[in-house]
Structure formats: C-alpha cells, structure tokens
Amino acid sequence: MIYMNESKSPRLHVPRADKTEILAAMSDVEPIGIAAGYITDYATGELTDIVGALYEKDGVSWSREKAWNFEHNDMEVSDEFADALLGRGKR
C-alpha cells in the first residue's frame, strides 16, 4: 500500500503542478472507514467540523484529514503516491 504522506509532521505549502488532477482522482472514491472524530487543520492546529475517513484506490491509501490539508494547505505528497493514484508509469 502506498500512503499519501506518512509523516507525523508533514510539510505544508509545497505546491504541486498536478494538484487539480490528484484532487479529482480522490474525489470519486467512497470511504472504506469513518472515524469517530474530526480532522485537524495542520496549519492552525485546530479541529475542523469535518469527520475523518479513510480511502483506498488502486493500491494507494489516504485519509480525509491528509486530503483536506493537501487541498487547503498544500501538504506535501510523495511522487510515488501521485504517480500510483494517477496511473502514471503503468504499462
């Protein structure tokens, strides 16, 4: 399984040229699990009013918290994750 970002303190404000493609690829996936808590905004450290969830697609996995922070705070995402999610490098 390839994870979006395994760091406990991911870097923020790391823009990606393929951000729109990554967000689109993650948007059509149903969660495989729902959390009993809310997600944290990594930039402020504050809780949001959004319930956490876990997703998987094509051998990659991410949480709603990581996806939200990627979208709103440009959280760093590995090239391996982006390539697998977007099907780059498949033959």
Give pLDDT tens digits for 19-42: 999 999 999 899 999 999 999 999
With bands split at pLDDT 50, 70 and 90, how would you rate the model's confidence at 90?
Answer: low
In a domain, 79, yes or no: yes
Q: Which two tokens stand for residue 23?
A: 């967000």
Structure-token match 């930039």, residue found: 43
Q: Crossing angle, helix 19-27 and helix 79-86, to 10 degrees?
A: 60
Domain that holds residue 56: 39-91
In a domain, 20, yes or no: no
Compute the distance between CA of residue 39 and CA of residue 56 in angstroms, rounded to an integer.
18
Tally of structural domains, the chain: 1
